[in-house]
Amino acid sequence: MIRIENLSKTYGDTTVVQPVSLTIEKGHIAALVGTSGSGKTTLLRMINRLVEPSSGKVWIGDEDAATIAPHLLRRRIGYAIQGHGLFPHRTLAQNIAMVPQLLGWKPRDISDRVDELLTLFQLDPARFRDRMPHQLSGGQQQRVGVARALAARPEVLLMDEPFGALDPVIRAKAQDDLRDIQRQLGTTLVIVTHDMEEAVTLGDRIAVMDKGVLLQYGPPTEILTHPATPFVEALIGKAERPFRLLSLSHIGDIAVPGEAEGPALPRDTSARDALAQCLWLGRDRLAVQGGGVVTLEALRTRAKGDGA
Amino acid sequence: MADTSLATPVPVPRISRNGLLFALLGGLALWLPLVQFKANRIVAGEGLSLPGALPGGAGWGFVCLVILLLAAGLLYRLPLGWRLGLALIGLAAVILSLGLAAKGLTPEGNRVVRVAPASGFWMLLLAFGLMGTDALSRLHLSRKARWAVLCISLGLIWLCLASGLLNETSVMVEYRARADLFSRSLWQHLTLAFGSLAMALLIGLPLGIMVFLIPKLRRGVLGVLNVLQTIPSLALFGIMIPVFGWIALNVPGAAQIGVAGIGLFPALMALFFYSLLPVVSNTLVGLRTVDPAVHDAAFGLGLTQRQVLFQVQLPLALPVVLAAVRIVLVQNIGLAVIAGLIGGGGFGSFVFQGLNQTAMDLILLGALPTILLALVAGVALDLMVEAISPKKGNVT
Ligand SMILES: Nc1ncnc2c1ncn2[C@@H]1O[C@H](COP(=O)(O)OP(=O)(O)OP(=O)(O)O)[C@@H](O)[C@H]1O
Ligand SMILES: [Mg+2]
């Protein structure tokens, strides 16, 4: 769990983050969205004290972060920097091994962990272990940056636009993977993004920031259906709203008893994909694997934000 | 092999532009005296050009060979390996002709006559030397191959000298008269160049790191070093004499640990002062050019300031620091000559002795090995810098 209390940052006489308070439950993902320069990175970096707060407190679990030596605090908190920040003079394996080494892991454990992470991020260890960062594509570099942040199985993970350099297809895959990994490890994750879509897909909660002010903090549905200010509403994008809402539910959750022709869809298909299928096939109901159907009616209700 | 080129055939064979330059240089050299014949080491001599310098018709033979080689170098399509071969044959021929001329012109048992290499010899050497280095650089050899070339070149030079081929030339005559002094001077020269470099690294690296970590100190420290750097070298060596002389006299214990106004010590200090600025400023620049994102990530992962410095910043700054080492070493090998003026020894003692006596051969005895040392140090350090520099790739 991370608890932030009245955290603010002032440089000279410009306040770049106005006092912010929010709590991220253990094992949850908080997505920080906002326009460029709104203070997302600054807020994130105050959590691991790369930026010393001007006021306020950060609690990691029940420890006050200000009482832990910064370098020890940072070894417990994974951090994937905006851009990748890989060490250009070290191989990928050495990059990923950095924190475990600092923590004094056994060499065997470190090399096993490196291979495990490379595999997890679809980089064949045999081929990639000894490569230098400059021999990778931008997207691969970012994935290694994330792997490095995860290396010591941190309880808390901070990520600053980790998927910026990825194309949409790989990006979606990376988001899925990240979610799986995060669920598996029970990591508490704070991810900065300026992409509302990514925030909705990943976040258990979304924090919207503008000009250093936290405008709204809540679950995606709440942000989508009850935007607190016109700015939040604009950020969501009116035209996209129903689809974003749909993307939050799986058809397994809204299936009702019944019969429908055609092949059955897996239960974890998103409502958004199901709607697309309905429109494309010209049907008003689709079969769901394991019995039941999803109806156009139910999808329509979901798209209005009802019944969530 | 069929000619498949579809371009309009060129009527006149194309001429290599570099080849033309070498041919002009070499051609001109043939008109100039190959050697200077002197009745003794001090009198002005008589210049002899290649045909006249060698006994019998051998001179004309060498002239023909040189012209042939230079003409072949003009061919545009000549493969680089061949070009290198031409240059090597040319160099061998030029050196051989010098040796033979010296042997031929020195009467048996005469120890007074001097046969010195003259402008024609140096220009021919330059023409073929350039031809060779031009071919080498365009061959884009691997680093290992270039190390090999360096070693082989040194081996060939050693072979030339050890074989006795050049024994009758003036510089070698001077050398034989002072063989002991020469090896002592070599050690002194190396001590001066490497010693001052070592001291500059010992003091300059920490100083560079310090001004990097404490920006407030930058202007002051760099300012002082800049001023040191602008003092003319002769003056700086001169200033060392009274300063260290005074210290040796007045600071207890100073003289015991080797501090003195003249000799090796003040020369070493002068070179050290010259080396400080390049080392300090390159250390600073190297550290500052480390990508801020990398620096940030290092802290973000939980490295301490010290670990960031030693594991990330310094290794990444190393190529720039090594570039300073190269500058300093080559510079100091050259500047160490001035040590000869304040009794510091080294090859400079030959140079200044030669200047005093207007004995050109003695000057060369000091200058030639200095040039060779500087060249070798420069090439070797270039190769080392290249070896540790990160390859440029698709860094994003
Ligand atoms: N060290 C600093 N000194 C002064 N101002 C700073 C400093 N760091 C950041 N700022 C300012 O704080 C504001 C917020 O910066 P921050 O990096 O947190 O934005 P961001 O939301 O992460 O933007 P982006 O999406 O572009 O990364 C910016 O206006 C920036 O100029
Ligand atoms: Mg940012």
Residues of A with CB below 8 A from B294's CB?
A: 85-88
Instruction: For residue range A235-264, list pLDDT tens digits in order.
Output: 888 888 888 888 888 888 888 888 888 888
- Average pLDDT taken over every residue of chain A: 90
Summarize the confidence of residues A88-117 as an average pLDDT: 94
Q: Does pLDDT of B304 surpass 90?
A: yes
Residues of B with CB below 8 A from A88's CB?
A: 291, 294, 316, 390, 395
Residue in A87, A92, A148, A156 to test binding to B, most B beta-carbons within 10 Å: A87
Q: Which of A212, A208, A210 is nearest to A200 (CA)?
A: A208
Interface of B with A in 310-339 (CB under 8 A): 312, 315-316
Summarize the confidence of residues B151-166 as an average pLDDT: 91
* Higher pLDDT among residues A71 and A239, named by residue: A71
Summarize the confidence of residues A200-221 as an average pLDDT: 93
Q: How far does chain B reach from its first CA to its final CA, in angstroms?
A: 45
Q: How far does chain A reach from its first CA to its final CA, in angstroms?
A: 25
pLDDT band at B12 (very low <50, low <70, confident <90, very high): low
pLDDT the model gives residue B260: 82
Nearest-atom index, ligand 1, CA of A192: 22
pLDDT the model gives residue A214: 94
Residue in A76, A77, A82, A98 to test binding to B, most B beta-carbons within 10 Å: A98
Instruction: For residue range A15-68, list pLDDT tens digits in order.
Output: 999 999 999 999 999 999 998 999 999 999 999 999 999 999 999 989 999 999
Query: Which helix (DSSP H) or strand (DSSP E) does residue A20 occupy?
Result: strand A14-24
Is B395 an 8 Å CB contact of chain A? yes
- Cα distance between residue B328 and residue B177, in whole Å: 32
Give percent of chain B with pLDDT exceeding 90.
Answer: 52
Query: Which helix (DSSP H) or strand (DSSP E) does residue A14 occupy?
Result: strand A14-24
- Cα distance between residue B206 and residue B188, in whole Å: 27
**Domain residue spans in chain B?**
17-177, 179-388
pLDDT band at B344 (very low <50, low <70, confident <90, very high): confident
Q: How far is the CA of B144 from the centre of ligand 2 (A)?
A: 45
The answer to whether the CB atoms of A86 and B297 lie below 8 A apart is yes
pLDDT the model gives residue B393: 40
Q: Where are the alpha helices (DSSP H) in chain B?
A: 17-31, 50-53, 58-72, 80-105, 119-139, 143-162, 170-177, 179-213, 218-230, 233-250, 264-288, 292-300, 305-307, 314-335, 348-356, 360-388
- Note the ligand closest to the C-alpha atom of A209: 1
- Cα distance between residue A191 and residue A182, in whole Å: 12
Instruction: For residue range B119-139, list pLDDT tens digits in order.
Output: 999 999 999 999 999 999 998
Of A39-48, A68-77, B90-99, B232-241, the poorest mean pLDDT is in B232-241
Domain spanning B179-388: CATH superfamily = MetI-like (1.10.3720.10)
Query: Which helix (DSSP H) or strand (DSSP E) does residue A107 occupy?
Result: helix A107-120
Give the residues surrounding ligand 1 with Cβ less than 6 Å away.
A 11, 16, 34, 36-42, 82, 194
Summarize the confidence of residues B355-379 as an average pLDDT: 92
Residue in A85, A89, A132 nearest the CB of B297: A85
The answer to whether the CB atoms of A71 and B302 lie below 8 A apart is yes
Q: Does pLDDT of B296 surpass 50?
A: yes
A2 with A23: CB under 8 angstroms? yes
Spell out the residues 6+ positions from residue B1 whose beta carbon is closer than 8 angstroms to its own.
none
Q: Does pLDDT of A138 surpass 90?
A: no
- Report the complex ipTM: 0.85
- Cα distance between residue B308 and residue B298, in whole Å: 6
Query: What backbone phi and psi angles, to 5 degrees, belong to B376?
Result: -60, -45
Q: How far is the CA of B330 from the centre of ligand 2 (A)?
A: 46
Q: Does pLDDT of B103 surpass 80?
A: yes
Summarize the confidence of residues B234-255 as an average pLDDT: 85
pLDDT band at B1 (very low <50, low <70, confident <90, very high): very low
Amino acid at B365: L
In angstroms, the separation between the Cα of residue B395 and the nearest Cα of chain A is 5
Token pair 């689709």: residue: A286
- Cα distance between residue B9 and residue B3, in whole Å: 10
A280 with A254: CB under 8 angstroms? no
Q: Does pLDDT of B5 surpass 80?
A: no
The answer to whether the CB atoms of A85 and B302 lie below 8 A apart is no
Q: Residue whose CA is closest, atom 3 of ligand 1? A: A11
Token pair 């140079």: residue: B351
In angstroms, the separation between the Cα of residue A291 and the nearest Cα of chain B is 49
Q: Does pLDDT of B109 surpass 90?
A: no
Choice from A32, A36, A42, A231 to test ligand 1 binding pocket (greatest atom count within 8 A of CB): A42
The answer to whether the CB atoms of A165 and B396 lie below 8 A apart is yes
Summarize the confidence of residues A71-86 as an average pLDDT: 90
CA B209 to chain centre: 30
- Cα distance between residue B252 and residue A253, in whole Å: 92
Is A133 an 8 Å CB contact of chain B? yes
* Higher pLDDT among residues A167 and B182, named by residue: B182
- Cα distance between residue A208 and residue A202, in whole Å: 14
pLDDT the model gives residue B396: 35
Q: Residue whose CA is closest, atom 6 of ligand 1? A: A11
In angstroms, the separation between the Cα of residue B98 and the nearest Cα of chain A is 51
- Cα distance between residue B294 and residue B300, in whole Å: 10
Instruction: For residue range B52-63, list pLDDT tens digits in order.
Output: 888 878 888 999
Summarize the confidence of residues B271-300 as an average pLDDT: 92
pLDDT the model gives residue A137: 87
Q: How far is the CA of B122 from the centre of ligand 2 (A)?
A: 63
- Cα distance between residue B83 and residue A31, in whole Å: 66
CA B82 to chain centre: 26
